[in-house]
C-alpha cells in the first residue's frame, strides 16, 4: 500500500490515464525505486508513475500539480548523490521514464539521434554503432543509466577528455515543464542562436525544472582503430607527465586517460571475479590510456611504443601492457570500471567526486589523501578516475578494523577535509555526479551570492509551487 494518503481522486485519475502497467502502488512493486545505488537514502512515495508517452507525462504533471503532489523524476536510478530518491515524508510520486524507451530517429548524414528519455545509454551506443556511428558517452553504469538521467546530471564519464560531457552531446530537448506544457525543442542544428539557450537550462538541473522526455544527440564518426594500455607509473606526477606526452604527440588519439591507485586496483582484483593484474608487479599508481582513431590505418601501437618508450627512459612508466585484442582491451577496462563495485564490497566508503585544473591533479591526490589519513588514522584513500579532464574520485575506504557505521558518521568531516584542499586548488566539489540530496548543504558556501540567488529565481519562475524534485540541488 502507498505510504501517505493521496489527495482525493488523484490515484483514480492517474490509473484512468496510465492503466495498470503505468501505475504502481503496491509496496513491493515500488520498493526498488525508493533507495539509491549507494544505499545512502531510504525514501517513501505514494506511487510510481510509468507514462509511455510525452502526452502522458504532461497529463501526469498537470494532475499532480493540481493536487499539490511533488514529482521525483527517475531514470535508471544510478545516481551517486541520491538525486532520484524521494524524501521520507511519503508525499511525492516517482515518475519513471522507463517506458519511454524508443529511439525516434537516427540520421548518419546529420550524425544525430533522437531518443526518448528512458532509452538506456548502452542501447543508444549500440543504435549509433548499428548505423556506423558513435555515441561516445561512456560510464560504468551505462547498462542501466538512461538518456534522461545522463542529461539531467550532465554526466561525464570516461570520454569527456575527447568528446565533452553529456551537455556537449546534446543538440535539442523535449521537456514537460512544471505547468504541464510540452516544449518541443528537438532541433538538430549545429548552429541556432535564437535567444536564451533554454535547452542548456535543463541539462544538469537534476529534474528540478521539468521532465526531459526526449533529446536529439550528436553522433560522431566511429573509430576504426583502437588500443588500450595499462601501465604502472612511478607516482602521480609521472601519470600527469605521460598524459602530457600523449597530448603533445597526438592529442586527437586520446579517447580516455584514467588514473587508478594501487589500493583501488587491489580491491578490484580481490573482489571482482575474473579481474587480474595485467602487469608483472604491483605498484602504487596505475594509468589506463584508451587510444582511438577514425583512420583504420592509424598506428596506435606505434604511438604507444613511442610515448611509453620515452616515459620509461625517464623512469615515469615502470611497466606497461598493450591490449592487442578486443578481449584484452575489455579486460583492462574492467579493472577500471569495477572500481565502484569493488569499493562497495570492501566496506563503507565516502565518495568525493571533485575536479581541479588538470595540472593540479597530483597535488590534489597527495594532499587530500594525507589530510584524510590525518583525520581518521587507518583510512584508506582510493583516488581514481578521469585524470585527463581533472575529475578525480577522491574516495576514502574505511579503516580495516573500524565499524562501518562509525566511519560513515564521519562522512561530512571527510568531505569537508577533501573539499578544503579542492577549494585551495581552484576546483569544484561536484565534478560529474551532481548535487542531488547529498550536497545541497554545500551550495551556499561554494555557489552562494549572485550565482545561487539567480538559480533560485530561475527555479521560482519555472516551478513556483516547488513540486519538481524538491529537496534536490538547491538548499
CB 215 → ligand MLT: shortest distance, Å? 21
Nearer to ligand FAD, 128 or 209 (CB): 209
Q: Does 351 bind ligand MLT (CB under 6 A)?
A: yes
Residue 339 binding target from ligand MLT, ligand FAD, none, CB below 5 to 8 Å by type: ligand MLT
d(CA 47, CA 361): 44
Q: List the beta bridge partners of residue 182.
A: 176
Coil, strand or helix at 10: helix
Coil, strand or helix at 103: strand
Longest Cα separation, the chain: 75
Nearer to ligand MLT, 140 or 466 (CB): 140
Q: Does 385 bind ligand MLT (CB under 6 A)?
A: yes
Burial class (CB in 10 A: 0-12, 13-18, 19+), 272: middle
Q: Does 58 bind ligand FAD (CB under 6 A)?
A: no
Interface stretch with ligand FAD, choices 40-48, 147-155, 279-287, 322-330 (CB under 6 A): 147-155
Nearer to ligand FAD, 41 or 308 (CB): 41
CB 433 → ligand MLT: shortest distance, Å? 6
For residue 27 the three cell numbers come to 509496496
Q: Does 94 bind ligand FAD (CB under 6 A)?
A: no
Site for ligand MLT in 116-145 (CB under 6 A): 140
Q: Does 339 bind ligand MLT (CB under 6 A)?
A: yes
Nearer to ligand FAD, 144 or 306 (CB): 144
Site for ligand MLT in 389-448 (CB under 6 A): 393, 395
Give how many residues touch ligand FAD by CB under 6 A.
37
Start-end of H helices in 217-325: 236-250, 262-271, 300-313
What does the angle CA 447 – CA 448 – CA 454 come to, to the nearest 5 degrees? 90
Q: Does 148 bind ligand FAD (CB under 6 A)?
A: yes
- DSSP states of 25-87 as a string? -SHHHHGGGGB-TTS--B---SEEE--SSHHHHHHHHHHHHHTT--EEEESS---SSSTT---
d(CA 372, CA 435): 22
Residue numbers at the binding site for ligand MLT (CB under 6 A): 140, 339-340, 351, 353, 385, 393, 395
Residue numbers at the binding site for ligand FAD (CB under 6 A): 37, 72-80, 83-84, 97, 117, 139-141, 145-146, 148-150, 152-153, 155-157, 206-207, 211-212, 340, 432-433, 436, 469, 472
Amino acid at each position: 500500500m502507498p505510504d501517505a494518503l493521496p489527495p482525493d481522486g488523484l490515484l483514480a485519475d492517474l490509473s484512468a490515464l496510465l492503466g495498470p502497467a503505468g501505475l504502481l502502488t503496491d509496496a513491493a512493486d515500488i520498493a526498488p525505486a525508493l533507495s539509491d545505488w549507494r544505499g545512502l537514502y531510504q525514501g517513501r512515495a505514494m506511487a510510481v508513475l510509468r507514462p509511455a508517452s510525452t502526452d502522458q507525462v504532461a497529463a501526469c504533471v498537470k494532475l499532480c500539480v493540481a493536487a499539490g503532489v511533488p514529482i521525483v523524476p527517475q531514470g535508471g536510478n544510478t545516481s551517486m548523490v541520491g538525486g532520484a530518491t524521494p524524501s521520507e515524508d511519503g508525499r511525492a510520486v516517482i515518475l519513471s521514464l522507463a517506458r519511454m524507451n524508443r529511439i525516434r530517429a537516427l540520421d548518419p548524414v546529420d550524425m544525430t539521434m533522437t531518443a526518448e528519455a528512458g532509452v538506456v545509454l548502452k542501447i543508444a551506443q549500440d543504435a549509433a554503432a548499428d548505423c556506423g556511428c558513435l555515441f561516445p558517452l561512456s560510464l560504468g553504469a551505462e547498462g542501466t543509466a538512461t538518456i534522461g538521467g545522463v542529461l539531467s546530471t550532465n554526466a561525464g564519464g570516461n570520454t569527456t577528455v575527447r568528446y565533452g560531457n553529456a551537455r556537449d552531446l546534446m543538440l535539442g530537448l523535449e521537456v514537460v515543464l512544471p505547468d504541464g506544457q510540452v516544449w518541443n525543442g528537438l532541433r538538430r542544428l549545429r548552429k541556432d542562436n535564437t535567444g536564451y539557450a533554454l535547452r542548456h537550462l535543463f541539462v544538469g538541473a537534476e529534474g528540478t525544472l521539468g521532465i526531459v522526455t526526449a533529446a536529439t544527440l550528436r553522433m560522431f564518426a566511429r573509430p576504426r582503430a583502437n588500443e588500450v594500455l595499462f601501465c604502472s607509473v612511478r607516482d602521480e606526477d609521472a601519470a600527469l607527465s605521460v598524459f602530457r606526452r600523449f597530448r603533445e604527440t597526438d592529442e586527437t588519439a586520446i579517447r580516455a586517460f584514467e588514473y587508478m591507485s594501487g589500493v583501488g586496483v587491489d580491491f578490484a582484483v580481490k573482489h571482482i571475479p575474473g579481474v587480474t593484474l595485467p602487469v608483472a608487479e604491483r605498484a602504487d599508481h596505475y594509468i589506463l590510456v584508451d587510444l582511438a582513431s577514425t583512420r583504420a590505418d592509424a598506428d596506435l601501437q606505434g604511438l604507444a611504443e613511442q610515448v611509453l618508450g620515452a616515459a620509461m627512459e625517464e623512469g615515469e612508466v615502470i611497466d606497461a601492457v598493450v591490449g592487442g585484442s578486443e578481449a584484452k582491451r575489455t579486460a583492462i577496462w574492467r579493472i577500471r570500471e569495477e572500481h565502484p563495485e569493488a569499493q562497495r564490497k570492501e566496506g563503507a566508503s565516502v565518495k568525493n567526486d571533485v575536479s581541479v585544473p588538470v595540472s593540479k591533479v597530483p597535488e590534489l591526490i597527495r594532499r587530500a589523501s594525507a589530510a584524510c589519513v590525518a583525520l581518521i588514522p587507518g583510512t584508506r584513500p582510493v583516488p581514481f578516475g578521469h585524470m585527463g579532464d581533472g575529475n578525480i574520485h577522491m574516495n576514502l575506504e574505511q579503516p580495516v578494523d573500524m565499524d562501518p557505521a562509525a566511519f560513515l558518521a564521519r562522512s561530512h568531516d571527510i568531505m569537508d577535509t577533501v573539499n578544503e584542499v579542492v577549494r585551495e586548488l581552484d576546483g569544484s566539489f561536484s565534478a560529474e555526479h551532481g548535487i542531488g540530496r547529498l550536497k545541497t548543504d554545500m551550495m551556499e558556501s561554494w555557489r552562494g551570492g549572485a550565482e545561487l540567488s539567480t538559480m533560485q529565481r530561475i527555479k521560482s519562475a519555472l516551478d513556483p509551487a516547488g513540486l519538481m524534485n524538491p529537496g534536490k540541488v538547491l538548499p
